Amino acid sequence: MPDDARAKGRDIVVMGASAGGIDPLIVVLSNLDPKLQVAVFVVVHRSGESPSTLAKLLARATALRVVEVEAATPIVHGTVYLAPAGRHMLVKHGHVQVTRGPKENRHRPAVDPLFRSAAWAYGPRVVGVLLSGRLSDGAAGLWAIRSCGGVVIIQSPAEAKFAAMPRNALETLDPDHCVPAEAIGPLITSLAGTPIARSHPVPAQVVLESQMAELRNDDIRHVSRIGTLSPFTCPACHGSLWEIDDSEVLRFRCHTGHAFSAEALVEGISDSTEEALYSAVRSLQETVAMYQRIANRERGSGRDKRAASFEARAHKAQMHATAIARLLQYGIEVLPEEPGEQKQVREGT
């Protein structure tokens, strides 16, 4: 990438999408001129469990070169860099890299690490674009971009298939632009030709959290510099969580690097509770089976009184298992889903 790019305009475009985000992403990319002097970096929430066709899908939508990043790769204008499933993508000076760093907002890849790393590396040259999705990944990353002099674009929640992600970002900070997906491509074109300042201070918090995504400076001493110890525990590793000193977004980090918005933390706690309840049902059912086995053995030996005692214990354990199973059957969701929204964890969600 030429050294004088910062004098030409904003040439680093980072985009984040989750549930319902593939269609607007395709719209944005299809509206970009292949001759435009920008590099585009894309994160879509998806698991790493199966091969992806997303890169091929995006390549059919744009004349720009689409690369699914697998290792450290030089940054070249006219290229779309796609985060691989199951790994974060980070923008560095002159190259892009991937890492299996800790999940953020319960995702890897996540939007915040990409946005934050780009803000640190390229400051005012960055354009951050947030599209359709659930919960609030991307809001903290947009704050980092804004803090480093970049431009923030949010897809209009009114047209987003899943409005929570853009809406949460919109409630967190005033974007430079909140527009339909169709208008984002032309905006990027305009911004790419707008001269910008040559430098902008980078908040220490942006630097430190970017390093945490690379498993650097992720110990207790460093996380204590940017937050205060909270009474909550990390749903991922069960360590202590620090409430991050962020005036814009309520969020949390553990010292191993897992990060959560408040909404993502609630979902994580809810899932942990569900797992614990299923474990309790299993344990109680095994207890029932064991008590019944003992009772049958005692009754077969003529010890009816002892058999009746174990049968009563089996009955009590079964009642407890049934009660917990009913709780699971009727649901323990803490955050209501949006109308028409289906719980998802598949590619593009």
Give residue-wise pLDDT tens across range 135-183.
889 988 999 999 899 999 999 999 999 999 999 899 888 999 999 999 9
Domain membership of residue 34 (yes or no) is: yes
Mean pLDDT value across the chain: 85
User: Higher confidence at residue 49 or residue 40?
Assistant: 40
Of the listed 11, 45, 88, 107, which one is catalytic?
45
Q: How far apart are the first and last CA of the chain?
A: 32
If asked whether residues 30 and 164 sit together in one domain, one would say yes
174 assigned to active site: no
CATH code: domain of residue 56: 3.40.50.180
Whether residue 119 has pLDDT greater than 50: yes
User: Are the C-beta atoms of 41 and 81 separated by less than 8 Å?
Assistant: yes
Whether residue 40 has pLDDT greater than 60: yes
Task: Quote the domain boundaries for residue 293.
Answer: 267-330
Domain membership of residue 278 (yes or no) is: yes
45 assigned to active site: yes
User: Higher confidence at residue 82 or residue 262?
Assistant: 82
219 assigned to active site: no
Domain membership of residue 70 (yes or no) is: yes
Domain membership of residue 204 (yes or no) is: no
Of the listed 11, 112, 137, 218, which one is catalytic?
137
Considering the entire predicted model, what is its pTM?
Answer: 0.74
If asked whether residues 52 and 85 sit together in one domain, one would say yes
The pLDDT of residue 217 is 56
Q: Structural domain tally of the chain? A: 3
If asked whether residues 118 and 177 sit together in one domain, one would say yes
If asked whether residues 188 and 228 sit together in one domain, one would say no
If asked whether residues 245 and 170 sit together in one domain, one would say no
If asked whether residues 273 and 253 sit together in one domain, one would say no
Q: What are the tokens at 340?
A: 């028409």
CA 211 to centroid of chain Cα atoms: 17
Residue that terminates a domain, selected from 192, 210, 227: 192
pLDDT one-digit tens code per residue, 305-343: 999 999 999 999 999 999 888 888 776 554 455 554 444
Pick from 12-16, 69-73, 322-326: least confident? 322-326
If asked whether residues 75 and 125 sit together in one domain, one would say yes
d(CA 190, CA 219): 42
Q: Listing from the earlier edge strand, what are the strands of the sheet with 39-44?
A: 65-68, 79-82, 39-44, 12-17, 126-130, 151-155, 177-179
Of the listed 18, 52, 132, 136, which one is catalytic?
18
Nearest alpha carbon to residue 110 among 257, 230, 2: 257
The pLDDT of residue 203 is 76
